Amino acid sequence: MRRRLQPVLENALALFVPFVAYLAAEVVHASGVIAVVVAGLYLSRTSTASRSATRLQGWST
């Protein structure tokens, strides 16, 4: 069961984190667009191997 939930959790976080970054930046009156770009760069840098495994697992089911 854990193997099935991990891709769902990773994809949910990949969608949720940029929204949180945008809202946090807006609260402190910073650029929301820059915050989303930085969050995207961070996510792409830290989870390259696990994302490809998630994509491959999705195709196999």
Give how many domains the chain has, as a whole number. Answer: 1
What pLDDT shows up at residue 55? 59
Structure token digits, residue 34: 């820059």
What pLDDT shows up at residue 6? 77
Answer yes or no: is 61 within a domain: no
Residue 57 identity: Q
Answer yes or no: is 52 within a domain: yes
- Cα gap 47→38, rounded to integer Å: 14
What pLDDT shows up at residue 33? 96
What pLDDT shows up at residue 57? 59
3-state secondary structure at position 58: helix
Which domain, by its residues, includes 32?
2-56
For each of the chain's 61 residues, which pLDDT tens digit applies? 555 667 788 888 889 999 999 999 999 999 999 999 999 998 888 775 555 555 565 555 5
- Provide the whole-model pTM: 0.67
